Structure 1
Amino acid sequence: MGEKVEELEYQSGFGNHFSSEAIAGALPHGQNSPLVCPYGLYAEQISGTSFTSPRKLNQRSWLYRIKPSVTHEPFKPRVPAHEKLVSEFDGSNSRTNPTQLRWRPVDIPDSPTDFVDGLFTICGAGSSFLRHGFAIHMYAANKGMEDCALCNADGDFLLVPQSGRLWIETECGRLLVSPGEIAVIPQGFRFSIGLPDGKSRGYVAEVFGTHFQLPDLGPIGANGLAAARDFLAPTAWFEDGLRPSYTIIQKFGGELFTAKQDFSPFNVVAWHGNYVPYKYGLQKFCPYNTVLIDHGDPSINTVLTAPTDKPGVALLDFVIFPPRWLVAEHTFRPPYYHRNCMSEFMGLIYGSYEAKVGGFVPGGASLHNCMTPHGPDTTTYEATIARANEMVPSKITDTMAFMFESSLIPRVCNWALESPVLDHDYYQCWIGLKSHFSRLGIDDEVTDDGVHKQGKAL
């Protein structure tokens, strides 16, 4: 059975300094940590950047809560351990692989499985301890988290539900996230996920040592792509009273630890700051595209980026391929064949992807690693070429594909390479590509032994 959900109010904007109070007058005025806060609340700050980060990059929020988050028993390793969650990609749990890889959708388990137990890592690079890298996970769950909350000390989570809504309780308030929307839970926030539809499946990107932000627009100018106003932050909401036993699950270095406490962590009555969970509806994205000839780079579809210190090079970009018009003339409109210094992990939320006709389905995934060639399958290529003389404006509809793109080379987890949903025949989608090379107009010579010699153009 699904869980009942209620209408929620949100605050609009990306990177704004928000303030919200569930009880009027709960926010202190004049200073952040007065000797006695209104209503006897505790003041607590959560910092997403170093204290001395430049002002324009500094992220932190003040929370005013009934009891502080420090009030819990010592952390202990979670039993049983989660053996398919990784934040250290050192080769002991994962392997390099340049082959084009594709996975079919995983089945949602029959046995009771919440978001934490249904989360598993596909690939990643770097180290959460070294504060540089990323991990890509998927999840499949059939029940909400009960009397427990997850806190990711390793990095930000970007959640992309593909099937089934997510009811996310956070310390700043609640988010209802449907397929076609995304949510970001910044590093360190405690959150719990319920499943209003009873089951859910989707994708998760995690970044270490940095945070997601809106990409610079460059020559595009002031408008386009994802607008700051369309990102929604929660409003303050809190739970009061004691709980017989509440569990905090801490993700730390890819391992899970648990601590017991006697109250809900969602006891924040008021808060203010610019370090908050948020959500975004992908249908609000304003795509840009070529309007005469040739094919735009996928970077023009970037929703969020987690940058590195090198300008223009991303630790991880979140890129979407939404419904849009195709109008380029004398142009091969599907994605062209290419090799890329970036590594590309793709998923499909709904519909079909324009470059893959059959094998890439909603809930599935593919990985084309650094400099591994890829592009449209044989069927797509042949169908496109056959319509070369009928090139008219056309619209891609009813689709939402996405890509996690990184400058790092991910290792693939052992279980992902050994998974029963790994498509071992993926390479076959290109094997049928044939030569269309024509020597018409060339003065050729064929020797007696059948060897072709190219002559001069007539």
Structure 2
Amino acid sequence: MHLVTDFAVKEKYSYHEGFGNHFRSEAVPGAVPIPNNHAQRPPLGLRTEKMSGTSLVGPRSHNLYTYMYRIESSHEHHEFTQWNHHLEYANPPPAKNLTPNAVSWPTVPWPEKGDWISQRLVGSNGDPQQKTGLSIWFFNIHKDMDPQTVFSSLDGEALIVPQFGSLDITTELGKMLVRHNEIAVIPRGIRYRVTLPDGKPCRGYICELYQGHFRLPELGIIGTTGLANSYDFQIPKASFEGRVEKGLNSDQIAVANETSEWNIVSRLNTKLWRCSQPTSPFNVVGWQGTLYPYKYDLARVDTIANIRYGHADPSVFVVLTAPSFGKAPGTAVIDFACVGPRWQVAEGTYPLPWFHRNTMQEFVLGIIDDQRLDTPLNDPKADFSPFAAFLNGTMVTHGPDEKHYQAMKASDTTKPVMVQNEGLTFGLFEFECPLYLTDWAFESAKQNSKRQFSGQFIETK
């Protein structure tokens, strides 16, 4: 078991490291003014633009903002207009279906293999305009975004989880390579562009958080380290499309590369809008602050488990959480958990997840951690494999099938064994409120799914 994923697609970018830190990042030395964030004449002829992700007077420890020093302000753009609202991905019907059944998606019907913008809404709760709840989307992309086109969500913060494949993401604040067995988070409003390394397809999941921001769970009596350690998160470094030249007074100035107009596609209340602007949005020469994209290798999770007897609750697998403010302490809009390869020993204890009913909803993802390009878990003929997802709603009983229940009862629990080393990591979106499904997601789901924890991973149709 590797403590760091040996990715098939090798890293090509460098990063800052540390979740929640304040960073100063410069593509050109001296691009960020010190100490005045609002310098009258910023270095290199740049313009100051601040992005605030939280209330301006919130607690300092949770106040998220970033100052960007860019060649041209994003203020310079044409009018936004509705974009492609005759297509489902640009104007999805509202999610309105609830079911008391456990449901699964062995695969996902995908009408057209598009780019990053052609995501499909699975379900939602809350309201992005009230900044409550979340939405879940699938993506299955087979081509780069159109040239000089970027995307942003005005609805929420995006947690991106590839099932298989890689994403090359250029954001206003820098570049990230995100591969299967990694996750990435992009804050609300950040503009970015997604391409495919070597043109190879990528599929996966997005949880768009409408309320607040993802953060690390508190460790309590665990102490200073464990679960997802803050020092393992990676943050892109400043990068811009342009160059530095001598100005009229022999001062150095940053100049953008000459391009034609750029298209800005933004999601608002799940619907897409578009505008154009005359310059590249990737003209940020330096930035400093606490609001930024980041990524994380799921192999680095420092798993906590019982070593004598019993089962810890699945909360010990939580990587990121988003507290539900105004609710009982410990309540989350969403917890993102990762259940991957680990050693297990607990005497006289049933090894598999037990039969369980839970006030939280559980949306389970299959993440292929096997990095072999020919892994049998990836069926190139299927839209999703070995399965897409399954959902257990409020108080829906879930657990093993009878065959595996009996096999685990007969197993020797006194010896350490490696579990979940078959190349598949389970990701979990655990959320507080029921998930309303869109019509296509409800109609394509297999109802009353019973074999979620079998060695076959999920039932097939």
TM range (shorter): 0.7 to 0.9
How does 1:298-337 map onto structure 2 within 5 Å? 298-309=314-325, 310=327, 311-337=329-355
SS at match of 1:205: strand
Does residue 39 of the first structure (1) align with residue 63 of the second (2)?
Answer: no
Work out which of the residue numbers 342, 357, 371 in structure 2 matches 1:339.
357
The one-letter code matched in structure 2 to 1:277 is P
Aligned residue number for residue 394 of structure 1: 417
Structure 2 CA distance for partners of 1:247 and 1:307, relative to 1, 3 Å: same
Distance (Å, rounded) in 2 between the aligned partners of 1:26 and 1:351: 39
Distance (Å, rounded) in 2 between the aligned partners of 1:165 and 1:362: 17
Distance (Å, rounded) in 2 between the aligned partners of 1:50 and 1:167: 31
Does residue 58 of the first structure (1) align with residue 58 of the second (2)?
Answer: no
Does residue 236 of the first structure (1) align with residue 238 of the second (2)?
Answer: yes
Structure 2 CA distance for partners of 1:51 and 1:390, relative to 1, 3 Å: closer
SS at match of 2:302: coil
Residue by residue over 1:173-201, the C-alpha shift from the partner in whole angstroms, topping out at 9 and shown as x without a partner, is: 00001100000001110011111142110
Q: Over the residues paired in the alignment, what is the CA RMSD in angstroms?
A: 2.3
How does 1:118-157 map onto structure 2 within 5 Å? 119-146=119-146, 147-157=148-158
Aligned residue number for residue 14 of structure 2: 9
Aligned residue number for residue 210 of structure 1: 212
Aligned residue number for residue 267 of structure 1: 283
Q: Please report how far the alpha carbon of residue 222 of structure 1 lies from its aligned counterpart in structure 2 after TM superposition.
A: 1.2
Residue by residue over 1:335-357, the C-alpha shift from the partner in whole angstroms, topping out at 9 and shown as x without a partner, is: 000100000000111269xxxxx
Distance (Å, rounded) in 2 between the aligned partners of 1:382 and 1:103: 26
Q: Please report how far the alpha carbon of residue 94 of structure 1 lies from its aligned counterpart in structure 2 after TM superposition.
A: 2.0
Distance (Å, rounded) in 2 between the aligned partners of 1:93 and 1:365: 17
SS at match of 1:187: coil
CA contact (8 A) 2:264 2:274 kept: yes
CA contact (8 A) 2:95 2:124 kept: no
Structure 1 unmatched ranges of 5 or more: 353-359, 431-458
CA contact (8 A) 2:152 2:267 kept: yes
203-212 or 5-14, which moves further after superposition?
A: 5-14
Does residue 380 of the first structure (1) align with residue 404 of the second (2)?
Answer: yes
Aligned residue number for residue 442 of structure 1: none
SS at match of 1:300: helix
Structure 2 CA distance for partners of 1:267 and 1:323, relative to 1, 3 Å: same
Structure 2 CA distance for partners of 1:331 and 1:267, relative to 1, 3 Å: same
SS at match of 1:373: coil
Aligned residues: 413
How does 1:370-449 map onto structure 2 within 5 Å? 370-387=394-411, 391-396=414-419, 397=421, 398-419=423-444, 422-424=445-447, 426-427=449-450
CA contact (8 A) 2:160 2:207 kept: yes
User: What is the identity percentage for the equivalent residue pairs of Structure 1 and Structure 2?
Assistant: 37
Pick the structure with greater CA Rg: 1
CA contact (8 A) 1:106 1:140 kept: no
Q: Please report how far the alpha carbon of residue 126 of structure 1 lies from its aligned counterpart in structure 2 after TM superposition.
A: 0.4
Aligned residue number for residue 190 of structure 2: 189
Residue by residue over 1:66-112, the C-alpha shift from the partner in whole angstroms, topping out at 9 and shown as x without a partner, is: 11111110000002444246899xxx532111110000233677x55
The one-letter code matched in structure 2 to 1:373 is T
Does residue 349 of the first structure (1) align with residue 354 of the second (2)?
Answer: no
Distance (Å, rounded) in 1 between the aligned partners of 2:451 and 2:113: 37
Distance (Å, rounded) in 2 between the aligned partners of 1:256 and 1:166: 21
CA contact (8 A) 2:348 2:413 kept: no
Aligned residue number for residue 380 of structure 2: none
The higher relative CO (CA closer than 8 Å, separation ≥ 6) is in 2
Residue by residue over 1:257-277, the C-alpha shift from the partner in whole angstroms, topping out at 9 and shown as x without a partner, is: 000112211110000001000
Work out which of the residue numbers 62, 68, 73 in structure 2 matches 1:68.
73
172-181 or 217-226, which moves further after superposition?
A: 217-226
If the length of structure 1 is used for normalisation, what is the TM-score? 0.86
The one-letter code matched in structure 1 to 2:426 is A
Distance (Å, rounded) in 1 between the aligned partners of 2:237 and 2:278: 24
The one-letter code matched in structure 2 to 1:78 is W
Aligned residue number for residue 101 of structure 1: 103
Q: Please report how far the alpha carbon of residue 363 of structure 1 lies from its aligned counterpart in structure 2 after TM superposition.
A: 4.6
CA contact (8 A) 1:66 1:267 kept: yes
Residue by residue over 1:307-341, the C-alpha shift from the partner in whole angstroms, topping out at 9 and shown as x without a partner, is: 11232011000001011111011111100001000
Aligned residue number for residue 306 of structure 2: 290
Work out which of the residue numbers 49, 52, 75 in structure 1 matches 2:54.
49
CA contact (8 A) 2:167 2:195 kept: yes
Q: Please report how far the alpha carbon of residue 26 of structure 1 lies from its aligned counterpart in structure 2 after TM superposition.
A: 1.0
SS at match of 1:15: coil
Does residue 256 of the first structure (1) align with residue 272 of the second (2)?
Answer: yes
Distance (Å, rounded) in 1 between the aligned partners of 2:169 and 2:345: 40
